[in-house]
């Protein structure tokens, strides 16, 4: 149970309520900003692999039609896992792409 701090003066009792936990800002960026988190070599490798992988093409099509990318989305994580399994991105690179702090210019 939350603890309340009370202060009593000669005429008043003041009760300080605990603060609600801070809600983190959504980690949402534009689709273009997401693409910019990839190097040109990574993008070329991904598009080359998409020529022979329907799963990668579907992922790219989904990104192409997105108005924004939620960096905490399980769908995004699944797609990045697909690229990692295909050998197109390392696990360290995937972590860097999704964990880099969102910059103001990346926001929709």
Predicted local confidence at residue 2, as pLDDT: 59
Give this prediction's pTM: 0.77
Q: Is 59 exposed, middle or buried (0-12, 13-18, 19+ CB in 10 A)?
A: buried
Task: DSSP letter for 23, please.
Answer: P
Q: What percent of the chain has pLDDT over 70?
A: 98
Q: What does R_g of the chain's alpha carbons equal in angstroms?
A: 22
d(CA 21, CA 14): 22
Q: Which of 104, 34, 39 is nearest to 72 (CA)?
A: 34
Helix 91-99 to helix 74-85 angle (10° resolution) is 150
At residue 72, does pLDDT exceed 90? Answer: yes
56 — pLDDT class (breaks 50, 70, 90): very high
Domain boundaries, the chain: 24-106
Q: Is the pLDDT of residue 5 over 80?
A: no
């Amino acid at each position: 149970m939350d603890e309340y701090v009370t202060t009593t003066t000669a005429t008043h009792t003041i009760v300080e309520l605990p603060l609600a936990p801070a809600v983190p800002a959504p980690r949402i960026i534009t689709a273009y900003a997401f693409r910019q988190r990839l190097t040109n070599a990574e993008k070329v490798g991904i598009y080359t692999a998409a020529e022979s992988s329907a799963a990668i093409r579907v992922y790219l099509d989904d990104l192409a039609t997105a108005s924004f990318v939620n960096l905490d989305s399980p769908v995004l994580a699944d797609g990045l896992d697909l690229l990692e399994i295909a050998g197109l991105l390392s696990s360290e690179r995937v972590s860097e792409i999704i964990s880099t702090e969102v910059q103001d210019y990346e926001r929709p």
